[in-house]
Amino acid sequence: MSDNRRWYDDDPILKEALELLKLQTDEKKTAAADFIISLQEQVAQDVIERIYELTQKFAGKGNRWYDSDPVMIKAIELLKSAPPKTQRVAALKLLLAIENNTLEDPNKDENN
């Protein structure tokens, strides 16, 4: 096993969600980024400020699959900074939203 594990490799659901997200169309990635960002009220303000700094630093310049999209950087960094329980819940919601094609409305399942 490699020592260069990604931050999300320890949680199989989070790993699956991000690996699946990586394979989606640009349109679905955009919807997913918006979906993840909608969870930002669960992340402290200082974390959000750090994320904006990272967005400016890496947008279009990094090696990660999402570094070419500033919105996706923000979404992934928010997810990365969230507590593990929030990451897992978000990953499960993301997997369900991708499967059910409901990325546009993160609260759709709760309204039914």
Distance CA 108, CA 112 (A): 7
Q: Pick the residue with more confidence: 46 or 73?
A: 73
Mean predicted lDDT score pLDDT of the chain: 79
Q: Pick the residue with more confidence: 106 or 79?
A: 79
CA distances from 92 to 50, 58, 70, 85, 106 (A): 25, 27, 23, 11, 12
Q: Please spell the DSSP secondary structure of 2-49, one letter per residue.
A: -S---TTTTSHHHHHHHHHHHTS-HHHHHHHHHHHHTTGGGS-HHHHH
- Closest among 29, 27, 81 to 53, alpha carbons compared: 81
Predicted local distance difference test score (pLDDT) of residue 112 = 47
Mean pLDDT of 90-99: 88
- Considering the entire predicted model, what is its pTM? 0.56
